[in-house]
């Protein structure tokens, strides 16, 4: 093993990177060193801030929806195309992103990605027609592609398998916290500086954070670790080859039953999440005739429910695993239950007869879907070994966002055609149920490393 040396007595053994094929730590020897705790804390703070900026960017068009439609003369269907252009570009970019991440690591991939998406976010404030807007939305989607796979990779690299539920919950909750604080913050920014100034300001903030991430974070493979630190990081993990995934192995993932179950199932998660992200402010304004300030405040509430669902998932998963429940089974139970409950709440949103009940029902739908979605990402940690996590996460995200890209445009077309969101919400509930069935019946076995 490269850059390693044997020692005796009290001398520590240092290893640059890790190779779980050569080292399998003893069961129970999983104490964290102060340095590992510091690395974990720094990484989670940076990921939390990046996720909030990420979802401020994603929410900006949804919050400015009605204002932009009026100024640029766009229909609901055209707004749907703008929202879908982002999600489609984001989904397609997941394929090369996952493979590159397994080779280059989160430091450079998230650093570049964050800078690119923030640059295009700033450019969004300078557009003057539909075509220009489509192009910057595509650039925004490509730039944001590394975000979630990088988060999964960082947690997989720096946390023991038994400690990953809570950081995964915190990371996912950050995105929903971003969604929750976005409507009131973005609405206030629009009232002060207009929608163009809003886009430029949050784009510049993201570029500064990208520089901070690159300066402060270090990949695990480029870090010198002691034997005890490797012991903590690898205890209980599946053996894995250190060699990067070849194109043939990456292509072979598309022939794996579990991979397809995760792709189809996660599409149900993202269809629901993306519909509410894209159209919640517009739904409240259209259905209940709210002004921009009221919409911004009320739109925050359902996303706070979603954040609570993510955080609760972290507690539940870690508690069940520590009580002896098999990790893969634990994630599947949380996923299927959360998706079915979310579908039920979405189905009855159309029956709400006032703003308050609609907000609560949507909040419960988001609580349940994000509770399930957190376990979907956690499933990668327990069903896939470390050399494949970014690739599997990228493929999962690719399929789900390509499918979810239909949600905004279908919803916009239904709104233009029927002047109602009822059919769109019913379709959403059905898609969520189909996704749950995929996790229940198709996802059964871990994805095996063919190098072992």
- The string of pLDDT tens digits covering residues 320-369 is 888 888 888 899 999 999 999 999 999 999 888 889 999 999 999 999 99
Residue 216 in domain: yes
Residue 335 in domain: yes
pLDDT of residue 79: 86
Where does the pLDDT of residue 17 fall: very low under 50, low under 70, confident under 90, or very high at 90 and above?
very low
Backbone angles phi, psi at 237, to 5 degrees: -80, 155
Q: Per-residue pLDDT tens for 226-241?
A: 787 777 777 665 555 5
What is the pairing mode between strands 14-16 and 224-226? antiparallel
Residue 194 in domain: yes
Residue 93 in domain: yes
Residue 386 belongs to domain spanning = 33-236+245-441
Residue 326 in domain: yes
Q: Per-residue pLDDT tens for 163-202?
A: 777 787 788 777 767 777 888 888 889 888 998 999 999 9
Total domains present in the chain: 1
Q: What is the CATH number of the domain that holds 339?
A: 1.20.1250.20
Residue 446 in domain: no
Q: Per-residue pLDDT tens for 22-66?
A: 334 444 445 677 788 888 888 899 998 898 888 888 888 888 888
pLDDT of residue 239: 54
Mean pLDDT value across the chain: 82
Residue 110 in domain: yes
Residue 61 near residue 68, CB atoms below 8 Å: yes
Residue 98 in domain: yes
DSSP string over 241-271: --SPPPHHHHHHGGG-HHHHHHHHHHHHHHH
Q: Is the pTM of this model over 0.75?
A: no
Q: Pick the most confident of 82-86, 257-261, 316-320, 447-451.
A: 257-261
Backbone angles phi, psi at 301, to 5 degrees: -60, -50
Answer with the residue of higher pLDDT: 143 or 223. Answer: 143
Answer yes or no: is pLDDT of 446 > 80. yes
């Amino acid at each position: 093993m490269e850059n390693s040396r044997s020692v005796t007595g009290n001398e520590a053994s240092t290893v640059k990177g890790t190779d779980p094929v050569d080292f399998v730590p003893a069961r129970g020897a999983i104490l964290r060193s102060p340095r590992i705790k510091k690395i974990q804390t720094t990484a989670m703070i940076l990921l939390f801030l990046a996720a909030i900026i990420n979802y401020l960017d994603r929410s900006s068009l949804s919050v400015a929806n009605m204002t932009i439609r009026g100024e640029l003369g766009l229909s609901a269907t055209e707004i749907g195309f703008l929202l879908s252009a982002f999600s489609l570009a984001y989904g397609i970019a997941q394929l090369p992103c996952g493979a590159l991440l397994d080779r280059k690591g989160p430091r450079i991939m998230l650093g570049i990605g964050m800078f690119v998406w923030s640059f295009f976010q700033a450019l969004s404030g300078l557009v003057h027609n539909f075509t220009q807007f489509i192009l910057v939305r595509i650039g925004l989607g490509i730039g944001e592609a590394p975000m979630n796979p990088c988060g999964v990779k960082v947690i997989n690299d720096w946390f023991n398998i038994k400690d990953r539920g809570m950081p995964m919950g915190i990371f996912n909750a950050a995105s929903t916290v971003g969604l929750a604080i976005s409507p009131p913050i973005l609405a206030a920014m629009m009232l002060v500086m207009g929608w163009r100034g809003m886009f430029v300001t949050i784009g510049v903030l993201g570029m500064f954070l990208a520089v901070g991430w690159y300066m402060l974070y270090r990949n695990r493979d480029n870090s010198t670790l002691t034997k005890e630190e490797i012991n903590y990081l690898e205890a209980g993990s599946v053996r894995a080859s250190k060699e990067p995934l070849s194109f043939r192995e990456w292509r072979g993932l598309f022939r794996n039953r579990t991979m397809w179950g995760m792709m189809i199932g996660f599409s149900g998660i993202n269809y629901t999440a993306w519909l509410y992200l894209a159209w919640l402010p517009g739904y409240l304004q259209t259905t209940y005739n709210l002004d921009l300030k009221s919409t911004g405040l009320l739109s925050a509430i359902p996303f706070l429910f979603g954040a609570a669902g993510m955080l609760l998932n972290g507690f539940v998963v870690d508690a069940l695993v520590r009580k002896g429940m098999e990790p893969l089974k634990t994630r599947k139970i949380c996923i299927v239950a959360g998706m079915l409950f979310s579908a039920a709440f979405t189905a009855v949103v159309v029956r709400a007869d006032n703003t308050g009940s609609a907000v609560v029902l949507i909040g419960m739908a988001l609580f349940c879907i994000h509770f399930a979605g957190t376990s979907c990402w956690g499933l990668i940690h327990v069903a896939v070994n470390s050399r494949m996590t970014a690739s599997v996460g990228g493929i999962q995200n690719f399929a789900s966002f390509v499918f979810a890209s239909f949600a905004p445009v279908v919803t916009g077309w239904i709104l233009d055609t029927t002047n109602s969101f009822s059919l769109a919400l019913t379709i959403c509930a059905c898609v969520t149920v189909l996704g749950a069935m995929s996790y229940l019946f198709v996802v059964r076995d871990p994805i095996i490393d063919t190098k072992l």
